[in-house]
Structure 1
Amino acid sequence: MESTPSEPVRANAPRGPWLRWWRSLSPTRQDRFAALAPLAAVLMFMAAIVAAFWYLRMEELDREQEALKRDVEYAQQRVRLRLLERQEQLMRIARDLSNQDLERAEFVSRAETLISQYPELQAITWIDDKRRIRASHAAPTVAGSQLRIAGEVLKPGETADTFGLARDLQQPVYSQPASTSGDSAPLLQLQVPLSAQGKFGGVVLGEYSIDSLLRYGTPTEVLARYAVTLLDGHNQVLAGTPLATRNPAQWVPWRARTNAYEVPVSPVGNGLVLRAQAYRTSLGVVGSGLFWLVGTLSAMTAWMLIATWRHTRRRMRTQEALIAETNFRRAMENSILTGMRALDLQGRITYVNAAFCQMTGWTEAELVGQAPPYSYWPESDHESLHAKLRDELSGKTIQGGFQVRVRRKSGTLFDARLYVSPLIDARGQQTGWMTSMTDITEPNRIREQLSASHERFTIVLESLDASVSVAPLGSEELLFANKLYRQWFGSQTTGHLQLVAQAGVLPSGDAPTNMGGMDDEDGLMGLPTDPLTSARTENAEIYLPDLGKWLEVRSRYLNWVDGRLAQMVIATDITPRRLAEEQAARQAERAQSVSRLITMGEMASSVAHELNQPLTAISNYCSGMISRIQGGQITEEALLSALTKTAHQAQRAGQIIQRIRAFVKKSEPNRTLADVPGMVSEAVELADIELRRHNVRLTHYVAARLPPVMADTILIEQVLVNLMKNGAESIEQARRPSSNRSVELRVVPKQIDDRQVIEFTVQDTGRGLAPEVLERLFEAFFSTKSEGMGMGLNLCRSIVESHQGRMHAENLYNGSEVTGCRFSFWLPLAQPADATTNSVANAPTPRTIA
């Protein structure tokens, strides 16, 4: 085998302008440019490093500014939430005063509790509509000049002005009066108006220590990282210690400037501003040791490049020619993966390549010069291989090659395919035969495995307990049907088409006209990627009267072996599952009815007490009328008034009985468009009977203009009654005092996972739930009550989930102390609510039931 020198060809190849310019230079100038190029690259690298340090420094400043902004806004939210929590507590006191549920001693007790519990709250004062101080309680830290004495009248000033503003607006108003003495700490005032039957009845004045508000309201990590201060509207410091200010005329480096950010604290507004100043401790670019290290290394690299380049240039010239020729010939030799063997006209081996040696295990020296029989022929195949060699030498070659067995030097055998062609020299004369050999052991093994796999696959399909059928689109030919399909429908496509039609998938006659090319197919699955695949349905359940079975039908499109688009239908018998589901639904319905009966049985004493009041009133009215009629001491107007009151009490007793009868009545689930406020009102009136027996106050908040939900009213009322009743029992077991015995029901719109829902929350002030109880709370037959059945909360969750909702329970904490428990669940809307409805619904309207 001859080889053509490559160097003359490369020498005559066209050269580019840069190469021609380089070869036109003298060796001295070439050395100079070759030394300057790496040096310039090192200098450019150093400049890039300096620019990178500068850029990273600017990025660091921006990140510090963004971090400061986030921390300040987070601190502002914490302070705002703390103010809103205190505002809510003062509004509760104001509400109790307006409803005359709170006396002066109880007011002082609650004020003392709040002030001792929350350090930022310094004083709470009750002022009537005549500006006279009815009661007041202050912390020991309040200065004597800031104390308010019961019986005094507000003096003219900012507090009195804010009193008038709260009276006019009928809303809570914040103010910050100026300090009357130099030693008194600045206070923040909140005046909450009292409204008794729509009339202004005074205010509840709460005074906050701004310093304590900063200390306890701001997160500790923010106070540790920044110099945090609270400023008034005139930029005067009210609390905190700011960083020392610099002289504006003095020049300050950019890296030493103070990083500060401020934001007003709502709901106070611009009258109270939270400002934070960051401490700067990082070094600049020039003071960074890494900067000088990179510069030094760059200089050393430049010097070493020059010395190394001079040393290696001489060696590269001598090696270039040898490496080029060696690589060229080695690439030709190693690039051929097929074994090559050359024979002369007498059948003697004259050449083998490296791939042939690797296949057989013999070296080139051992093979070259051998005559038949060759060492790699198996002894059992000598006769057949001699015949094939005679045909080969006589010119009887096979176009597609022929398959033989080859023996390795180790004694193992492998399958090979040989292709024979004449070997022609440079003068055009045949000097022998060239044979290429390919190892086909692995393809043969794969072919056998595929055949066995196909056989196993057919056996599996025949033994499936599901019907499998394949038919081409637009044709009534049945390409494949397993044993169960043939038992059900026979060997025709009638059953296949019936399943397709009833399941609602694309019929076989609706085959698309444009199937597209190979680019429109998924190479992994063999399925079309056009919209045809979106026409199929998954897990469609149908009933076949002829078979008397419920079937789950699944469909898939695939390319058949002949290239046609076919449809595979899998039908599984789910009749036992459907029967089990129907039986489970009937049992769940019975369990819901039983749960309502059990609930009313537990509330029997409360219901009897509730009915006893109107019945006793009816008896008293009738006895009084009889006595006055017998004595002739009653007029017609008095008689009519007594009869009207008697009828009213009878209607009241009848409404109670009708409400209880509707609650415990057994009926089929009937989901309709339900009005949320009406549903909540029915549940509240029913549960309030039991809560009053336990001396528990019920408060519920229902957002305005709530859209309807698709629900069974009785089932949702059952969930609400169970949750409120459980809350009252938890409070009773915790033995809470009268001021802390309340259950709150809150109904508001909410967005969960991009879905508009209505959230129901029942919150009590009991002792909460233990961690092990929370893990098993919704399990069937698990109860924390000694007489409980453990089905109430399990049924509640089942009812909510049957309405496509979710239920959740969690404890409420005040520090490490458990202060109650919150149960919440949500139901999806029957239809999407518009933006106007959402915005109005976010404003809660409180309603209290004493």
Structure 2
Amino acid sequence: MSVPLPAAKRLFGRWWRSQSPARQDRFATLGPLLSVLLFLAAIISAFWYLRNEEIEREIESVKRDTELTQQQVGLRLIQNQEALIRMARDMVERDADPEEFVAQAVAFARERPELTHLSWVDARRRVRASHWAMLYHPTPSGAQAEPLLPVESRVNEPETTFRAARDSRSPVYSRSFVDTTGAPVFQLQVPLVQRNAFNGVLIVEYSIDALVRHFVPADVAQRHLMSVLDEQEKVLAATVTTTPGQSSRRALIVSDAPLTPALNGLLLRGQGWRTSIGLVNNTLFWMVVALSVLTVWMLLGTWRHVRRRSQIQGALVQETNFRRAMENSMPTGMRAMDMEGRVTYVNAAFCQMTGFSNAELVGRLPPYPYWPPDRIDENHRLLQQELQGRSPSGGIEVRLMRKDGSVFDARMYISPLIDPKGQQTGWMTSITNITEAKRIRDQLSASHERFTTVLEGLDASVSVLSVQQGELLFVNRSYRLWFGGDAVGHQQLAGGAAGTTPFVADAEDDNDPLSGLPTQELTETGANPREVFVESLQKWFDVRARYLQWTDGRLAQMLIATDITARLRAEEQAAAQAEKAQVTSRLVTMGEMASSVAHELNQPLTAITNYCNGMVSRVKAESIAQDDLIAALQKTARQAERAGQIIHRIRNFVKRSEPQRQPAEARQIVEDAVELAGIELRRRNVAIHTYVAQRLPIIMADPILIEQVLLNLLKNAAEAIDSAQLPTQRRHIELRVVPRHTPEEGGVIEFSVTDMGPGIKDEVIGRLYEAFFSTKAEGLGIGLSLCRSIIESHRGRMRAQNLYNGQQAVGCRFAFTLPVETTVRIDATATPAEGETTPSA
């Protein structure tokens, strides 16, 4: 049955009072000594527990580091194995020769320092090709040497592994063995299988020392010893090399793990040692014992000072009475609180100031009776700040309430209360009535605050300069940050020596009687804003000037300068990024058409080769006439010109250049775009029908950019038709260029691309022009967005719509317009006089 705490305290107090003074002194002496002994026993138990805890942590650390190293090495072996399997499959499929294997082996071994050599051995164990890694070449002179490879007449690890790979048709790791240099290694043999027929193996030899050196993490190697052992637990490689002829001591903490995925008998071992010392040899233990003895000695010395304490206490009471009399004679109110905010003392001046008596205030907890009801939350926040010791040294202003309900302003200064033991027991607050002083101060500062508050908060520079004297009358914070406190910055923003040379008034002008300067000229001077570049700051400013009459009657010029550097740089950066996006789009388009372009170039080049071979054969046989030779050469020249035109057209399209608006013909742009798109269309077996109206007006545009838009639309249409696998009768695109006239755009030329594909989904049409939105699996999502930006930069419009047959979409139509400068209205429904139709497959 547990005894309540108050009851236990009463029982202890009754028992203590029942003891004699001698026994009380004995208990008071034995209590601290018993506490020190218990503390010493607790320290010894803690040391023992921490020592065992450290051993457990070290065991877990060694195990964790061993598993981490196992994962690192195993992941490397798996990656290399997968790469070798791909290399073997590629060699079998392409029937690679030794030169190709050596090239692949050089690239494979360049980034894998753990490999010593790669060899290609056929089914009869003949070495087709071999490559030594640079760091593991067996001869200093670099001469070719034979690695340890499978030999049918020998029984060694390479031969055993070769047979296992041949029988299992899967990669096999060998057991560890010693190579020609005496270093421990193991091999991975990947079989070459073609149509279930064994054609040999790819042999890769690993250096065990290199695996340990490169794939044991550096932090793991610093903490623990990592080594690789064979089946007989012989150390093959380790992160720490022992001195020759000296065996390493057995570690107290060991963790083993197999070297996956090889599973060839190799074992990865992590070793650690205990760093803690025994309890008896622990210096800290003896320090605690010594401190405990010292504590006992100090307790004995403390008893001798008890008598002196009573003397000091008497002096303290006398000093307290003196200070209390001095406080009561001052007009400043004094209030003391404990650490919980309870009022423990108030002087007479504080009671007179608030109207409350000492009995009404001492012992009160917040909210205090002198707090105004509407400011309880604010005063409570200030009290918490005071109790936490965060009050400013200059004091804080508060509003207090007298007992009669009147309110007054006061300033409070707070300092901590320290007891004789040097501990803080509360806070002392001095309070001064500042109601009248604050009223006068507020009146004096109100007008200045109204003038400067808004101006100091502006991000723009505001400066006022006297026109006659050239003296700065006012500057705000932004001006001081940029130009300091002189008038040079104002003159730079005004465009020279503005403000230093007064205006000369004309006798016939209408003069302002206040300033004596021409009012009309001043109004016109400050009317137009302008952009000014300040070289010393490397900034652009939008400057607006205004003339005003200063408080003393002088004429002054006010400048408001806004920093627009970021906006101008953003505009320049946006233009540069748009240009890069245009070039990138053209490069992406040509990259997608690369295979088609290669096929297109292959035809004229093949024809040139056939013509040349035929002429060489007939010339050698002396069976060709001069006319036949000339005809063949002419055909060869035409094929070479055709190939050159294709390359020239592609080069002009992808060449980066600044956007250049120039007079251009719509027909020439269409012909160039169709010529480029024809390669892609022929590859996809899509026909194109082109219609260009005659006598179209000249447009001001960049031909390459408009050609880029057309090519993108044609390519998208061909991809839509090809992906839908439409029949031959629907695999065609129609490109039309006709003049239009609308009330919104006026005279324009309309380019339209119509395909017979499946159309565009309704939810996709609204997002076609979003950046990085694409319906293609590998699309970048910048094509249509960039096309729309190009057309809008030419003051044109772009739109897309589906073509329907009833409720079914039977095609899609993309169209864009370019404005033309013409004074003749063109009827959009009029049929052109002539047209041109150019079908191509």
Question: Structure 1 length as normaliser, TM-score?
Answer: 0.40
- TM (norm. structure 2) is 0.40
